[in-house]
Amino acid sequence: MMQKTIFYHDTDCGGVVYYGNYLKFFEEARTLYMQERGYAISELMKRGLFFVVSRQEVEYKYPVRYADVINVDTKILEVSDIKIIFENTITNQNGRLCTKGRTTLVCINAQGMPTPMGADTKKALSPAQ
């Protein structure tokens, strides 16, 4: 669970968080999630493994506003040899569900080719764990 305060730079002139900026919150949350499980993205990169986003879905249910303090919850829905599907749920300080995101990441090597992430990473990140 990542907690985050909303600043001016997160918002737009509609008075709420810009719809593209939620993807930054998802990136932060899944990075911390992997790091907490011992798989820092910066460490995986040193092993020649990169995760790139191949698909993103977002449902915007309730606006997040300036000075709101949101919770960004992360969960892994599915892991295969080369793919991870994350789900993020954002709620505001009143517990109201604001945004849901589903992000598919593919593991690639330095040449940009899909590459198995390794049995250890796969096991550590699998939902059953």
- The answer to whether residue 24 forms part of the interface with a second copy (CB under 8 A) is yes
Q: Does 44 bind a second copy (CB under 8 A)?
A: no
The 8-class DSSP code of residue 129 comes to -
Q: Which is nearer to a second copy, 21 or 115 (CB)?
A: 21
Candidate segments 40-48, 69-77, 85-93, 114-122, binder of a second copy by CB under 8 A: 40-48
CA distance 3 to 70: 6
The answer to whether residues 99 and 90 touch, using CB atoms and an 8 Å cutoff, is yes
Q: Are 18 and 63 in contact (CB under 8 A)?
A: no
Q: What angle do CA 106, 60, 23 make, to 5 degrees?
A: 35
Q: From residue 55 to residue 94, what is the string marking binding to a second copy with x (rule CB under 8 A)? A: xxxxxxx-x-xxx---------------------------
- Residue 42 touches a second copy, criterion: CB under 8 A: yes
Q: Tokens for 28? A: 């932060």
Contacting positions for a second copy (CB under 8 A): 5, 7-9, 11-16, 18-24, 27-28, 31, 40-42, 50, 52-61, 63, 65-67, 112
